[in-house]
Amino acid sequence: MGTVEPARLDAWLDRDIIFVMHTYRRSYKLRSLGILCALLAAPLFAQDGNWQHELTAWRSQHVADLLKPAGWLSLTGLEWLQPGDNSFGTAADNKIRLAGTGPAHMGILHLEANSVRLIAPGGGFPADLRVADAPAQAQFLPVEADNDKNAPHITIGTLNMYVIRREDKYALRVKDAKSPTLVSFHGLNWYEPDAKYRVKAKWIPYSPPKSVTLATLAGTTYAQPVPGVAEFVLEGKTYRLEPVLEDPGAPQLFFVLRDATSATTTYKACRFLYTVLPSHGLDKPGELVLDLNRLENPPCAYTPFATCPLPPPQNRLAIALPVGEKRYHE
């Protein structure tokens, strides 16, 4: 092998050194870019993981609420009261005959004008009948229109009963901790979670707030306050949903809505969505996260004895929302 001139050798060495340095710099840049991408993506992955975890926890709590002894799956009756005496018990001669075992005559609900009075049957109240966790005695039962949370509960054995009011109609709602629907619960049906349907909405307050009249599956109507509208974009189109304040004392908004999936895979009447309040409160413009993965069935999807609101016209969407809870009985 011949010798190489020093000048040419220096040129080759310089060229090789430049090539090596260029390759190193390019490799370093690629590694740095990869590290940067990983660092930027880490919060997103963590956020996605947290969202999945929170959604799973919410679903578990939703099931737990349904399975409570006095949850919606325990409903066994909705008996509309007639003016005058409405006797209730397991005997056939009661106006309201309760299923299962228990005292033949438990009490009488006397409806007159806009008041309901509990009075004793001929043989007196059963010894273990209780009202608001106290021994039963003759008394007027406070009943608020379209608000059942303060109703005094009449309990005996596995039964839990209370009077509700819808417009000018009164009914005895009956729950049983051993109801067939509760005992035969077979789990809920869900769509797969999809982060695309967790959208950020613009909150536009109404000044002054307006009211909407909601119809129910029981054939009644009631008014609810509407503090504003949530506006969001999905698949390039803008949609608006109006929530109501179901309970002015609760820090949440209540959306009653229906979408195109109601014709195929979700409950036909509607689904519910509860959210926290907007970022700057109800009376100021702000933002609101609508996680449509949390769309849930109303109580009427599980039992015919519930009275559920129907969505107002503005909350009936033509788009399909293939997320959240599916039909229970299919």
pLDDT digits (tens, 9 = 90+) for 283-301: 999 999 999 999 999 999 9
Q: What is the pLDDT of residue 34?
A: 45
Give the separation between CA 68 and CA 73, rounded to whole angstroms.
Answer: 8
Cβ 108 vs Cβ 88: under 8 Å:
yes
Among 34-48, 94-108, 110-124, 192-206, the least confident range: 34-48
Report the pLDDT averaged over residues 274-280: 97
> Residue 134 carries which side chain, given as an amino acid letter?
A
Q: What is the pLDDT of residue 19?
A: 39
Please say whether the structural domain 72-183 has been given the CATH code 3.30.465.10: no
Give the percent of the chain with pLDDT over 90: 79
Both tokens assigned to 187: 């789990």
Domain ranges of the chain: 1-37, 72-183, 195-315
Q: What is the pLDDT of residue 23?
A: 42
Give the separation between CA 289 and CA 306, rounded to whole angstroms.
Answer: 29
Tell me the Cα Rg of the chain.
31
State CA 49 to chain mean position distance: 22
Report the pLDDT averaged over residues 192-209: 96
17: confidence class by pLDDT, cuts 50, 70, 90 = very low
| Statement: residue 154 has pLDDT above 80 | yes
Greatest Cα-to-Cα distance within the chain, rounded to the nearest angstrom: 128
Report the pLDDT averaged over residues 104-126: 97
Give the separation between CA 172 and CA 161, rounded to whole angstroms.
Answer: 7
| Statement: residue 144 has pLDDT above 80 | yes
- SS3 for 49? helix
Query: 254 - beta bridge partners?
Result: 244, 274
Give the separation between CA 79 and CA 307, rounded to whole angstroms.
Answer: 12
Residue 203: closest CA among 235, 184, 228: 228
CB atoms within 10 A of CB 245: 17
Report the pLDDT averaged over residues 309-313: 96
User: In whole angstroms, how far apart are CA 271 and each of 7, 9, 61, 209, 319?
Assistant: 83, 80, 17, 24, 14
User: In whole angstroms, how far apart are CA 267 and each of 55, 98, 255, 263?
Assistant: 20, 29, 15, 8
> Residue 325 carries which side chain, given as an amino acid letter?
E
Report the pLDDT averaged over residues 49-70: 95
Report the pLDDT averaged over residues 14-28: 43
User: In whole angstroms, how far apart are CA 34 and each of 20, 28, 37?
Assistant: 21, 10, 5
Whole-number average pLDDT of the chain: 88
9: confidence class by pLDDT, cuts 50, 70, 90 = very low
User: In whole angstroms, how far apart are CA 66 and each of 190, 248, 284, 326?
Assistant: 15, 23, 35, 15
Report the pLDDT averaged over residues 231-257: 94
| Statement: residue 43 has pLDDT above 60 | no
Residue 63: closest CA among 164, 190, 170: 190
Q: What is the pLDDT of residue 236?
A: 95
Whether cis (ω within 30° of 0) applies to the bond prior to 126 is: no
Q: What is the pLDDT of residue 101?
A: 83
Give the separation between CA 198 and CA 144, rounded to whole angstroms.
Answer: 36
Give the separation between CA 305 and CA 26, rounded to whole angstroms.
Answer: 70
Give the separation between CA 198 and CA 124, rounded to whole angstroms.
Answer: 56
Helices (H) and strands (E) in the chain, counts: 2, 17
Q: What is the pLDDT of residue 48?
A: 61
Q: What global pTM score does this model have? A: 0.82
